[in-house]
Structure 1
């Protein structure tokens, strides 16, 4: 099942307009080291185990470091009936390479 992808520039515009929720599926230490402003940390294992439910009624974009893990999570959510889920193409690496802002808690 092919999951729709969004480019860093497209995601930035959507975040600026408030039209999307960005979910970081990485681990807390990865998120603390480098994060996209406004991203909500929900580790992959919490989503896949069902311990955290994501909103079904709003557009979601998932991201990880390179897009691989978040792509897998997006596929699982899509299979579970989520209709508005996409993946950030290239992950936070592509976001940072595009010169877009990142934060660090370290």
Structure 2
């Protein structure tokens, strides 16, 4: 249920219209983020989940995969049906 997806799958989802969300802090986001990503830090995800479209897939990432796993669990608890965890931002560059 909380398995990470691989880079090609994440790219396919984003190309098909999934929302790409960086759950790291604003400072980390400012130092470098994936193209098209929006920043919703995991610490404020519950309060800011309304920025996301609930019925559009969501692809999450962070620095190591721990925070994106937390965000995935939270969004699923909030009723988001399609939430995917890329894990580490570095995985994206393995494609």
Same fold at TM > 0.5: yes
1:4–1:85 CA contact under 8 A, matched in 2:
no
For structure 1, the residue ranges without an aligned partner over 5 or more in a row are: 101-106
1:64–1:70 CA contact under 8 A, matched in 2:
yes
For structure 2, the residue ranges without an aligned partner over 5 or more in a row are: none
Deviation of 1:4 (Å)? 4.5
The aligned residue for residue 5 of structure 1 is 4
Greater C-alpha Rg: 1
What value does the CA root-mean-square deviation take over the aligned residues? 1.7
Deviation of 1:85 (Å)? 0.8
Structure 1 runs of 4+ aligned residues shifted over 2 Å read: 2-5
Q: Which has the higher helix share?
A: 2
The aligned residue for residue 35 of structure 1 is 33
TM-score by length of 2: 0.85
The aligned residue for residue 84 of structure 1 is 82
TM-score by length of 1: 0.77
Equivalent position SS for 1:5:
coil
1:66–1:94 CA contact under 8 A, matched in 2:
no
Matches within 5 A, 1:95-106: 95-96=92-93, 98=94
